[in-house]
Amino acid sequence: MRIAITGSSGLIGSALARSLRPEGHEIVRLVRRPAASGDEVTWNPARGHVDAAGLAGVDAVVHLAGAGVGDRRWTAAYKREIRDSRVLGTRALAGALAALETPPRVLVCASGISYYGDTGTRAVDESAPPGTGFLADVCREWEAAAEPARRAGVRTVHARTGMVVSGAGGAWGRRLLPLFRAGLGGRLGDGRQFWSFIALHDHIAALRHLLAADGLDGPVNLTAPEPATNREVTAALGRVLRRPTLATAPAPALRLVLGDFAQEVLASTRVLPRRLLESGFAFAFPRIEDAVRAAASPTAR
């Protein structure tokens, strides 16, 4: 297949491209600069521009681009960037795909489990209504922005992703694992909040599954089948890395350091991947300790 990917230089996009190329799939990367090679297409999501001619003939599109939610302290300006990078980019891409003479068969568009808001101890699947809060609102707008592609007959999947456990990057690779390896890790807040996670290996496999599963569209949760509390995540990291986990970060301190983002860190989102499991997907790392061991492996990337 000829597969276009946005966010191809990020943790997920680069891993997905690496997994697809050896099997003969042609990867087209959307880049925010002038295209420098035949496998690149220029786009400017903030301005709503996509070089649609470069997307002619693509069979599938995986849309992963968006400003990192935890990359900076949340200010009003950065919250706008988080929202606009997702909504404006998706709107531009979906519109460009819809206008093609022959649109792709499938668009897999990233979304997030923040769609459900804080669910406490209540487990939710794709049938649950949207929650409240900044990221829940962003996710609703994000998914709605892909509507032009769906109306044009493109099978459109919203991959509602949980916390990706990886040693190669993201919040885990850049922050959690180094912190715990140094013996400075511990629970956040009271530690009772559920973190719905997915191992990087399973995330890539799930994206590929969504590309191939012709009958699957709409929202699909990309989370492991056994969500873990922050206390359980902390304990698993301590066991795998053989480090103490006595440190704690009280909720007031997190709010001081992280601003509004602390609300998301302390929120409990217990999400189940019902549609993924019903479609026949099998997880390689279903439990948090499995995922941590995979992420902490010296060969993990």
CATH number at residue 171: 3.40.50.720
Q: Is the pLDDT of residue 236 over 60?
A: yes
Asked, for residue 92, whether it belongs to a domain, the answer is yes
Q: Residue 29 pairs with which residues in a beta bridge?
A: 5, 40
Total residue count of the chain as it appears in this document: 301
Biggest alpha carbon–alpha carbon distance for the chain: 59
Residue 55 confidence (pLDDT): 94
Q: Is the pLDDT of residue 290 over 80?
A: yes
> CA triplet 85, 216, 105: central angle to 5 degrees?
70
CA 79 – CA 40 distance, rounded (Å): 29
Asked, for residue 301, whether it belongs to a domain, the answer is no
Tokens of 286: 């279903």
Asked, for residue 248, whether it belongs to a domain, the answer is yes
Give the structural domain span for 198: 2-296
Domains in the chain: how many in total? 1
Q: Is the pLDDT of residue 131 over 70?
A: yes
Q: Which of 42-56, 89-103, 109-123, 144-158 has the lowest mean pLDDT?
A: 42-56
Spatial CB neighbours of 220, under 8 Å, sequence gap ≥ 6: 126, 157, 158, 159, 160, 210, 273, 275, 276
Question: Which amino acid makes up residue 233?
Answer: V
pLDDT band at 299, cuts 50/70/90?
low
Average pLDDT over every residue of 173-178: 86
Within 13 A of 5's CA, how many CA atoms are on the CB side? 28
- Tokens 């979304």 map to which residue? 111
